[in-house]
Amino acid sequence: MTPGARVAAAIAVLDQIQAGAVAEQALTAWARGSRFAGSKDRAAVRDHVFDVLRAKRSLGDGAGRELMQRLAQRESWPMTELFSGDGHAPDPLTAEEMAALDAPLTLSVPARCDLPDWLWPLWQESLGERAEAVAMVQQGRADVFLRVNMRKGSVTAAMDALAKDGVTVIAHPDVAGCLRVTGNPRRVKTAAAYLSGLVELQDAASQRAVRRVAVPDGARVLDYCAGGGGKALAFADLYEATVFAHDIAPQRMRDLPVRAARAGVTITPLATEALAKAGKFDVVFCDAPCTGSGTWRRTPDAKWRLGPEDLAHVMQSQDEVLNASAPLVADAGLLVYATCSILSDENSRRVRAFCQRNPDWHIIEEHQDLPDANGDGFYTCALRRR
Ligand SMILES: C[S@@+](CC[C@H](N)C(=O)[O-])C[C@H]1O[C@@H](n2cnc3c(N)ncnc32)[C@H](O)[C@@H]1O
């Protein structure tokens, strides 16, 4: 596909999203109906669509064609080459479109920050004077990070192995064993270092969160909201602990045995019925369901789909997770509540509400990482009984 044809494809996908389609589904449907598109074409169209979605409001929130024109303008791409009308490229710009592009958009603060209006007060209240800057960070792409599995080899061995497969990386500035991918991120999953379990895909903030937990040798650790098991795998790699994984939706853990085998670690899955009989745990880590507001660079569609009722529902789930997981913690054990959100309603407020309901628990330490060049937004709070 020519660059113009890729833009035309992105316009078609964006039109569907603007009409209500879910981004991933619209992209998959386009790819299925476009067998001529190679992997580089699919990646380019996806990048266009996601670049727009991160900044949809500040790009005018119009139809796909207008959005792609404004993205091309913002990125200083050669507009007349992309909108040439040649082959499968979109038609050249009309005089009206050119005039519209010349007139700057009048944007409210939430529109400039690419957030829904209803969310802006909560965002401001959570982030204070950093509200605008953090929102602007989420307009850009996030890097890919890898965790080196120390059970399989060293950071140097991982860097060398990745380089052999054309994936270039640099060490993260403050998370040990974390690598930022600087070249060919799409080759990671076929690289020998990944296939052999020497590296695992995991954002730097998640790695930092697991490293912050004080896990004594020989501890029993429960990843209570395990999902695909990313945190459980990191605990099993980093600590001399026996690691268990639970999720209310066990099908989410279906890939965990394969991932654990690849990583060379043992993780015991626990169904809900098995939890009560499994004994107490020294550490219970709750990576609670959340809005994902700290990761919206990776899932920009989510910030436009989220409504106030979804936030209320997610907060209720977070309370339920805290209520149900706390009794599983051994007397002197640690309960760690975590989300990949940056909203106080999902983080400090949930933990404080839990402590009010359960005065025998108190906060030991609390961290809020904000999304930046070194990782996603992530919250952790460690609690103990008094
Ligand atoms: C943020 S995701 C977990 C991501 C995962 N820890 C990882 O690193 O890949 C939250 C998970 O919590 C699970 N969940 C939601 N409510 C729960 C509950 N009450 N008890 C246990 N798990 C729950 C969801 O099914 C979902 O898989």
Q: Are residues 168 and 60 in the same domain?
A: no
pLDDT of res. 104: 87
Alpha helices in the chain (DSSP H): 3-18, 23-32, 39-54, 64-74, 79-82, 95-102, 109-112, 120-127, 131-137, 155-164, 192-195, 204-212, 230-238, 256-263, 272-275, 300-305, 308-325, 348-357
Structural domain that includes position 156: 145-201
CB distance 287 to ligand 1 below 6 Å: yes
Contact 248 CB / ligand 1 (< 6 Å):
yes
**Residue 229 pLDDT:** 97
CA of 231 to the centre of ligand 1 (A): 11
Under 8 Å between Cβ of 85 and 92? yes
What ipTM does the predicted assembly reach?
0.99
133 inside domain: no
Residue to mutate, 207, 247, 254, 328, ligand 1, most ligand atoms under 8 Å from C-beta: 247
Q: Is the CB of 250 inside a 6 Å radius of any atom of ligand 1?
A: no
Ligand 1 lined by 299 (C-beta under 6 Å)? no
Same domain, 226 and 373: yes
Cβ within 8 Å of residue 322, ≥6 positions away: 286, 288, 335, 337, 350, 351, 354
Instruction: Examine the domain organization and report whether 218 and 361 are in the same domain.
Output: yes
Q: Return the structure tokens found at 172.
A: 């993260």
Domain end: 201, 227, 245, which one? 201
Q: Same structural domain for residues 360 and 246?
A: yes
For the domain that residue 150 is a member of, what is the CATH number? 3.30.70.1170
Whose CA is closest to atom 3 on ligand 1?
227
Instruction: Clarify whether residues 94 and 187 are in a common domain.
Output: no
Q: Are residues 303 and 160 in the same domain?
A: no
Our answer on whether the CB atom of 230 is closer than 6 Å to any ligand 1 atom is yes
Q: Are residues 78 and 101 in the same domain?
A: yes
By CB neighbour count within 10 A (0-12 exposed, 13-18 middle, 19+ buried), where does 250 fall?
Answer: middle
Q: Considering the domain boundaries, does residue 119 fall inside one?
A: no
DSSP secondary structure of 146-207: EEE-TTT--HHHHHHHHHHTT-EEEE-SSSTTEEEEEE-GGGGGGSHHHHTTSEEE--HHHH
* Residue 102 labeled ligand binder: no
Domain edge (last residue) among 56, 91, 107? 107
86, 76 Cβ separation under 8 angstroms: no
Which CATH number fits the domain that encloses residue 318?
3.40.50.150
The answer on 224 and 197 residing in a single domain is no
| Distance from the alpha carbon of residue 75 to the mean position of ligand 1, in angstroms | 37
Q: Considering the domain boundaries, does residue 132 fall inside one? A: no
- Atom of ligand 1 lying closest to residue 202 CA: 8
- 256 close to ligand 1 (CB < 6 Angstrom): no
Closest C-alpha residue for ligand 1 atom 6: 226
How many Å apart are CA 89 and CA 338, to the nearest integer?
46
Pocket test for ligand 1, best of 206, 224, 233, 248 (most atoms within 8 A of CB): 248
Domain identity same for 83 and 154:
no
The answer to whether the CB of 231 is under 6 A from ligand 1 is: yes
Q: Are residues 58 and 191 part of one domain? A: no
User: Of 176, 201, 226, which residue is a domain's last?
Assistant: 201
Q: Is residue 139 part of a domain?
A: no
The per-residue pLDDT for 179 is 98
Residues 59 and 153 in one domain: no
> Does 247 appear as a known binding residue?
yes
84 inside domain: yes
In this prediction, residue 74 carries a pLDDT of: 96
Q: Residue 138 falls within a domain, yes or no?
A: no
Residue from 343, 324, 345, 325 nearest 334 by CA: 325
In Å, how far are 59, 68, 104, 373 from 101, measured between CA atoms? Answer: 10, 11, 7, 30
Q: Which residues pair with 381 in a beta bridge?
A: 337, 366
Q: Which residues of the chain have pLDDT under 50?
A: none
What's the domain count of the chain? 3
Cα of 61 vs centre of ligand 1, distance in Å, is 32
Residue 272: closest CA among 251, 246, 253: 246
Residue 220 located in a structural domain: yes
Q: Is residue 129 in some structural domain?
A: no
- Let me know whether 40 and 99 are in one domain: yes
pLDDT digits (tens, 9 = 90+) for 303-333: 999 999 999 999 999 999 999 999 999 999 9
